């Protein structure tokens, strides 16, 4: 153990070799190896001269150095773990934001663009969406800049407090360090519990997000169904109004038909059959009248035929007269 501790001390005392020193000739390198062997032999020889108390002191120092190295390694590991956890958390938050943006873009833009392809309104809507997104990012950037400034101020304050504590740290005792270790362990336990709670909340938020998306899809389906039902209701209302108009028209026609039926029934009830002798006389009179009508029709036909003959004779006489007048005028 003493040889190990002594070699560690020698490694601390030795400075790293530079490039020109590495490129020395072989003789110098051999000399250096001889010196190193002589020092190690001297160190081994010194071990035989150490007392038990000195050996115990060396062992305690070695143990303290090992504890310091373990403490530094643990602190570095915790720092790296916190750094990677922060990166993972930031990636998860960004992934959730990306999924949210994609869902909103598909809901607000893609559905309307698929319905109105090639229209100016679709392009204007897309441009407005990107402008709103850039505006939100600018606002977020301003907020983060202000938060960064405030965190820098807090960092300066904490560094100042840390320096003050380091200056006062010389006056601290082992009891204070033990108390700080206990508080650190308690805080680590609380951080672990909070991390577990955060993981559970993230899982529950993921499930709630899935449930919310399913309810959103159901809501869109219900809205589409409500729109179709409203259209069908409006069509049924128009059909009902048309049927009511037809019913009113049919009732009016029925009232007219009922009035005509009543009139005909009244006429039928008031009708009286004439006596037989009067019917026979009227029938004989009707036959005589028909005979006289036929005689007169025959006479009219004969008169029309005689009129046609008279017209022909008149036309012949008129033509002969016109010819005689023409001959007389020519003889003069």
Are 17 and 36 in contact by the 8 Å Cβ rule? The answer is: no
User: Residue 242's pLDDT band (boundaries 50, 70, 90)?
Assistant: very high
CA dist 281 and 298 (Å) reads 26
- Environment class of 96 (CB within 10 Å of its CB; exposed 0-12, middle 13-18, buried 19+): middle
Could you give the 3-state DSSP secondary structure of residue 25?
coil
Are 55 and 2 in contact by the 8 Å Cβ rule? The answer is: yes
| For residue 169, pLDDT beyond 60 | no
DSSP 110: I
| For residue 17, pLDDT beyond 60 | no
Are 58 and 4 in contact by the 8 Å Cβ rule? The answer is: no
Give the pLDDT of residue 216: 84
User: Residue 11's pLDDT band (boundaries 50, 70, 90)?
Assistant: low
User: What's the per-residue H, E or C state across 191-252?
Assistant: HHHHHHHHHHHHHHHHHHHHHHHHHHHHHHHHHHHHHHHHHHHHHHHHHHHHHHHHHHHHHH
Question: Which residues touch 1 (CB under 8 Å, ≥6 apart)?
Answer: 58, 59, 62
Give the pLDDT of residue 240: 92
**Burial track 139-154 (b if 16+ CB lie within 10 A, e otherwise):** eeeeeeeeeeeeeeee
| For residue 43, pLDDT beyond 50 | no
Average pLDDT in the 303-324 region?
87
CA dist 313 and 293 (Å) reads 30
Are 61 and 5 in contact by the 8 Å Cβ rule? The answer is: yes
Average pLDDT in the 260-270 region?
86
Are 3 and 44 in contact by the 8 Å Cβ rule? The answer is: yes
Give the pLDDT of residue 25: 42
Four-residue CA torsion sign, 218, 220, 223, 225: negative
Q: Which of 48-57, 111-120, 286-295 has the lowest mean pLDDT?
A: 111-120
Give the pLDDT of residue 23: 38
Q: Which residue has the tokens 């997000």?
A: 209
Over residues 21-39, the pLDDT tens digits come to 433 444 444 444 444 444 4
CA dist 40 and 14 (Å) reads 14
Picking from 225, 201, 305, the residue whose alpha carbon sits closest to that of residue 297 is 305
Give the pLDDT of residue 115: 61
Picking from 129, 127, 132, 92, the residue whose alpha carbon sits closest to that of residue 107 is 129
Q: Which of 73-77, 198-202, 230-234 has the lowest mean pLDDT?
A: 198-202
Check residues 235 and 172 and name the one with the higher pLDDT: 235
Over residues 246-258, the pLDDT tens digits come to 999 999 999 999 9
User: Residue 269's pLDDT band (boundaries 50, 70, 90)?
Assistant: confident
Picking from 91, 109, 99, the residue whose alpha carbon sits closest to that of residue 213 is 99
| For residue 236, pLDDT beyond 70 | yes
User: Residue 163's pLDDT band (boundaries 50, 70, 90)?
Assistant: confident
User: Residue 97's pLDDT band (boundaries 50, 70, 90)?
Assistant: confident
Q: Which residue has the tokens 């003959």?
A: 309
- The answer, as to whether pTM is greater than 0.85, is no
Of 106-115, 212-221, 223-232, which has the strongest mean pLDDT? Answer: 223-232
CA dist 167 and 131 (Å) reads 53
């Amino acid at each position: 153990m003493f040889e190990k501790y002594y070699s560690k001390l020698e490694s601390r005392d030795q400075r790293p070799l530079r490039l020109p020193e590495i490129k020395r000739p072989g003789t110098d390198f051999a000399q250096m190896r001889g010196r190193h062997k002589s020092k190690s032999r001297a160190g081994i020889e010194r071990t035989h001269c150490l007392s038990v108390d000195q050996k115990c002191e060396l062992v305690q120092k070695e143990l303290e150095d090992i504890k310091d190295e373990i403490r530094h390694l643990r602190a570095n590991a915790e720092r790296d773990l916190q750094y990677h956890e922060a990166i993972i958390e930031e990636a998860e938050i960004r992934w959730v934001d990306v999924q949210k943006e994609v869902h909103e873009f598909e809901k607000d833009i893609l559905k309307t663009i698929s319905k109105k392809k090639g229209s100016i309104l679709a392009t204007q809507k897309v441009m407005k969406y990107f402008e709103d997104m850039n505006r939100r990012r600018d606002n977020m950037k301003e907020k983060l800049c202000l938060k960064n400034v405030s965190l820098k101020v807090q960092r300066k304050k904490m560094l100042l407090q840390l320096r003050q504590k380091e200056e006062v740290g010389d006056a601290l005792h082992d009891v204070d360090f033990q108390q700080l270790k206990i508080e650190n362990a308690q805080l680590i336990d609380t951080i672990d519990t909070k991390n577990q709670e955060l993981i559970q909340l993230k899982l529950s938020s993921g499930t709630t997000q899935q449930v919310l998306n399913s309810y959103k899809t159901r809501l869109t389906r219900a809205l589409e169904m409500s729109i179709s039902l409203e259209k069908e209701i409006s069509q049924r209302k128009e059909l009902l109004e048309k049927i009511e108009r037809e019913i009113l028209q049919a009732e009016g026609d029925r009232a007219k038909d009922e009035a005509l039926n009543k009139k005909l029934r009244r006429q039928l009830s008031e009708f009286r059959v004439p006596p037989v002798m009067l019917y026979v006389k009227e029938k004989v009179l009707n036959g005589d009248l028909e005979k006289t009508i036929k005689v007169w029709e025959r006479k009219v036909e004969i008169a029309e035929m005689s009129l046609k003959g008279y017209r022909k004779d008149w036309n012949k006489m008129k033509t002969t007269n016109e010819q005689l007048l023409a001959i007389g005028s020519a003889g003069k």
